[in-house]
Amino acid sequence: MKDLLRLRTSLSEEIELLLNEQIKAEAYSSAVYLAMSSYCNRNGFDHSAGYLEKQSNEERGHMLKIFKYVNDLGGRAISPEVTNIPQEFESFKTVFELSLQQEIKVTGQLNRIADQCIRLKDYTTFEFIQWFLKEQIEEEYVARRILELFDLIGEEGTGRWQIDKQIPKVSYGESTDEE
């Protein structure tokens, strides 16, 4: 009897499911960053608004990268339903606290995929996911450094204005943008 399941795709059902969950997580991140950008814009933090909009596009790029991978391997990438996007935030600082939390969560999810890839001997996806894991080092670093600005500069007086100006300048030396 032919193995029709393998003719369909080399992706196992578990990995396909995890990748589709990741597509959804990246889409959610993208939407949250956009909402954060809007909040910053409304409250006069123009530089942060621009930075968060850029982040939103980056997350969407990640989503599409996984989406394409699943389809390229004969799987079924699912266009995600993204709901419950917070539109209001407690403060300027909360925005970046949530941003770091979100990045840490994404790292955890990617680690889970890598772990499952090893368990199921899916080295193609394992190799694919390495790029994202490396990217997460940058994402977490930048989110942490931004949050540290709040302590370094302080929010009093013109502090928030200064922080807003500094945010787009935070960068990580080892960029993974080569792809």
Partner 1 sequence: MIDTCINIVEVFRTVHGSVSQCDKTNSYILEFGDITNSFRATDFIDFTKRVNSIDLVKMILSSSSVTDVAVLMPPYAERCFVLTLTDTLNLKELLSGAKFNLHLNSIICECLRPHLYSI
Residue 74 corresponds to which amino acid?
G
| CA within 13 Å, CB half, 57 | 5
Q: How far is the CB of 2 from partner 1 (least distance, A)?
A: 5
Q: Which residue has the tokens 């970046």?
A: 96
Q: Find the binding residues for partner 1 in span 74-113 (CB under 8 A).
A: 74, 76
Q: How far is the CB of 4 from partner 1 (least distance, A)?
A: 4
The answer to whether 119 contacts partner 1 (rule: CB under 8 A) is: no
CB nearer to partner 1: pick between 16 and 135: 16
The answer to whether 5 contacts partner 1 (rule: CB under 8 A) is: yes
Binding letters toward partner 1, positions 20-49, x by CB under 8 A: ------------------------------
Q: Which residue has the tokens 């990741």?
A: 22
The answer to whether 13 contacts partner 1 (rule: CB under 8 A) is: yes
Q: How far is the CB of 50 from partner 1 (least distance, A)?
A: 41
Among 33, 92, 93, CA closest to 57: 33
Among 75, 62, 45, 73, CA closest to 165: 45
Stretch that binds partner 1, among 8-16, 28-36, 89-97, 106-114 (CB under 8 A): 8-16
Q: Taking a C-beta distance cutoff of 8 angstroms, is the pair 98, 31 a contact?
A: no
CA distances to 8, 74, 145, 176 from 166, rounded to whole Å, are 50, 44, 10, 22
Interface contacts to partner 1, rule CB under 8 A: 1-9, 13, 74, 76
